[in-house]
Structure 1
Amino acid sequence: MHAAPESELFPELYAEREKLIEEEERNARLDTPLFVCQLSFPGVPTNLHFFEPRYRLMLRRCLESPTPRFGMVMPPRSTSASVGMDFGTMLEIRSVRMLHDGRSLVQTWGVSRFRVLERGTLDGYTVGRIEYIEDFPEELEDTLDAALGEKAALEAENQNTTSSIASVPATPPPPSAITRTSSTPPPSLNPPNVPRLHNPCLERRPLDAGNEALMNKCRAFVERLRDGAAPWIVQKLNDSYGNMPTDAPSFSFWIALVLPIDEYEKAKLLPIRSTRLRLKLVAHWIDQLNSNWWFSNGCVVC
């Protein structure tokens, strides 16, 4: 007589044990601790305050590892969402100040961006499996810029053609509307004394400004921020974000941090792999700020 298998004798316990084994195997793949806190970017410092027990445990484990690093992602925008942001920044721990009550003040430096492929929970804090995000090579910037500009022009041309076709009336006009005497010629579509309307979407646009021109526009905006702010605010900006970087990739993230716009809007830079496109998006934000009445009237940093 053969004994019944365990799965038949104790089906509930067997299912629970199987679930725990699957969860352990899954969590073994999730080898990156994730601090769900705030926005951070590579190439700039981030100062953090650890006080929750779960994150104090995470910090201690990071410090014990050969490479003391952890990823940071923003929390979900709405309280009803159960999953946080899919993109974040890997932070390298530079210094830790332990306080007497167990809290820690941590200085970090953003070293790279990543995308969260899979996430889980370990001892209360989030862990994940990630893939790193690298920028396109610098020599491809102009080629990518030209290709995207051409694509935008073609899309605009197609949209213009579609709207023109849609404006044609579905039924022909009444005969009285098109009757005219034979001695009166029909009006020309392009009279000689009326200039032809220029549609920039029908022509190939020249390349937009390069990285240096975009950076100069951003630098001028930062100087305006500094001129309109109190000295203590300027000092706080310097302490929080460090000195202005000189290389374009780091600069594109640094300038976004100092802009007075929504943090979730700034997070749109994380998945972009082109420095030129990031600078263009930042320049677009600056144009929007300059067009706002509250900003143009002198309320720069309140």
Structure 2
Amino acid sequence: NLLPEVTCDVCFQLFYDPVTTPCQHTFCSKCLLRTLDHSPLCPLCREVLPGFAFYHDHPSNVILLNLLLALFPTQYAARKSSSLADDGLTSILENVPIFPCTLAFPNQPVSLNIFEPRYRLMIRRVLENGTNAFGMTLHPNPYTGEEIMYGTMLRVKRVQMNIDGTSGVDTVGTWRFQIVKRWWVDGYMVANLKRLNDYSLDNEARLNALPSPSNLSIDFIDSATTDELVERCLMFVRRMRTRLAPWVAHRMDAAYGPMPEDSGRLSFWMALVLPIDDYDKAKLLTLQSPHLRLQLVAHWVAALDKQGWWRNSGCVIM
């Protein structure tokens, strides 16, 4: 007879992590947060509730929680398992939330302003299930309609919840992936992934078997060693700095950090500072050879030099 009294009026299941509002109505904490994604009103009496941030990590109703654990231990354990399943707590390569938004590379800081209800829910889930990570891809190409199947995993470093439910999220890129299978859960994309790691530069047989990343015919680039390609990138950056105003160069350093010495990271850093389309830059995500990535960057640099973009554009890099 008591069970109907401890049932949430949003999900119609036994309370899980119950939270009581100032208007004295009780809901599962996740149910309440999801309703606040769409409306600041109590789901029952329509009274205006405190802001979203008030209920983020809000203490449970301890008396009711102890009652549930004492009277309905089996049902409460089942609710906990169901809640974790809803959050997608599985392998780091399975059921991974995907946020199509912007281009991201490994080791790159990415700051986001999350305001859509579906992505507010996604961020809460990755924090609650302990992964603190989600995938980032570009939107489908607006010119070709091509779906983007490669991206970068982002690790959440800091979340600032705002009173209106939006949040500022600071992340950093970790590793690259290919989407193997995808579907949608509560409005956002979820996918099974294949992790992409770099090939060893010592494996020349594998490297030579890979195709050139560009159809541009520039003999030096296609036959250059990795060290020669790195030097070509260094020369470009030196030339770029001599043509930029000091404050622009300073802003570039602040935004992207110092030029990395590691050849595996250098190609991604170069892509960040080059004034080319993001969908072209995203081709680097598909290449598992640092050498081939540097080849592609060198082709971009050669094309920019041929266009004489230094003479025709000002501070395009920023």
2:311 equivalent among 274, 297, 301: 297
- Cα 1:206–1:66, aligned 2, differ >3 Å: closer, same or farther? closer
Instruction: Give the drift of 1:206.
Output: 11
What are the Cα deviations for residues 224-264 of structure 1, in whole angstroms up to 9, with x where unaligned? 22332234433332333222222111111111111000110
2:179 and 2:265 mapped to 1: Cα distance? 22
1:266 aligns with 2:290: no
1:127 equivalent among 182, 190, 197: 190
Instruction: Give the drift of 1:209.
Output: 2.3
Aligned to 1:255, what secondary structure does the other structure show?
Answer: helix
Q: Which residue of 2 aligns with 1:186?
A: none
Q: Which residue of 2 aligns with 1:14?
A: none
Instruction: Tell me the amino acid that sits aligned with residue 211 of structure 1.
Output: T
1:94 and 1:245 mapped to 2: Cα distance? 22
Aligned to 1:105, what secondary structure does the other structure show?
Answer: strand
- Cα 1:100–1:290, aligned 2, differ >3 Å: closer, same or farther? same
What are the Cα deviations for residues 139-161 of structure 1, in whole angstroms up to 9, with x where unaligned? 11x444545589x9xxx9xxxxx
2:166 equivalent among 103, 119, 143: 103
What are the Cα deviations for residues 68-114 of structure 1, in whole angstroms up to 9, with x where unaligned? 10000111112784x73010111111222223322222221111111
Q: Is the 8 A contact 2:106 2:172 kept in 1?
A: yes
Q: Which residue of 2 aligns with 1:215?
A: 230
1:43 aligns with 2:57: no
2:221 and 2:295 mapped to 1: Cα distance? 15
Q: For structure 1, which runs of at least 5 residues remain unmatched after alignment? A: 1-23, 157-200
Q: Which residue of 2 aligns with 1:93?
A: 156
1:114 aligns with 2:129: no
- Cα 1:134–1:80, aligned 2, differ >3 Å: closer, same or farther? closer
2:221 and 2:99 mapped to 1: Cα distance? 43
Q: Is the 8 A contact 2:97 2:135 kept in 1?
A: yes
Aligned to 2:286, what secondary structure does the other structure show?
Answer: coil
Aligned to 1:270, what secondary structure does the other structure show?
Answer: helix
Matches within 5 A, 1:185-204: none
Q: Is the 8 A contact 2:134 2:155 kept in 1?
A: yes
Higher alpha-carbon deviation: 101-110 or 124-133: 101-110
1:252 aligns with 2:276: no
Q: For structure 2, which runs of at least 5 residues remain unmatched after alignment? A: 1-84
1:139 and 1:107 mapped to 2: Cα distance? 36
2:133 equivalent among 69, 88, 98: 69
Aligned to 1:236, what secondary structure does the other structure show?
Answer: helix
Instruction: Give the drift of 1:50.
Output: 1.2
Give the TM-score, by structure 1 length: 0.66
1:149 and 1:52 mapped to 2: Cα distance? 41
Q: Higher relative contact order by CA 8 Å / sep ≥ 6: 1 or 2?
A: 1
Q: Which structure has the larger Rg?
A: 1
Q: Is the 8 A contact 1:225 1:300 kept in 2?
A: no
- Cα 1:104–1:87, aligned 2, differ >3 Å: closer, same or farther? same
Aligned length: 224
- The CA RMSD measured in Å over matched residues stands at 3.1
2:131 and 2:298 mapped to 1: Cα distance? 36
Instruction: Tell me the amino acid that sits aligned with residue 98 of structure 1.
Output: M
Instruction: Tell me the amino acid that sits aligned with residue 94 of structure 1.
Output: K
2:101 and 2:200 mapped to 1: Cα distance? 31
1:148 and 1:35 mapped to 2: Cα distance? 30
Q: Is the 8 A contact 1:135 1:273 kept in 2?
A: yes
1:238 equivalent among 219, 243, 253: 253
Give the TM-score, by structure 2 length: 0.63
1:34 equivalent among 98, 102, 118: 98
Q: Is the 8 A contact 1:228 1:298 kept in 2?
A: no
1:139 aligns with 2:202: yes
Q: Is the 8 A contact 1:49 1:106 kept in 2?
A: yes
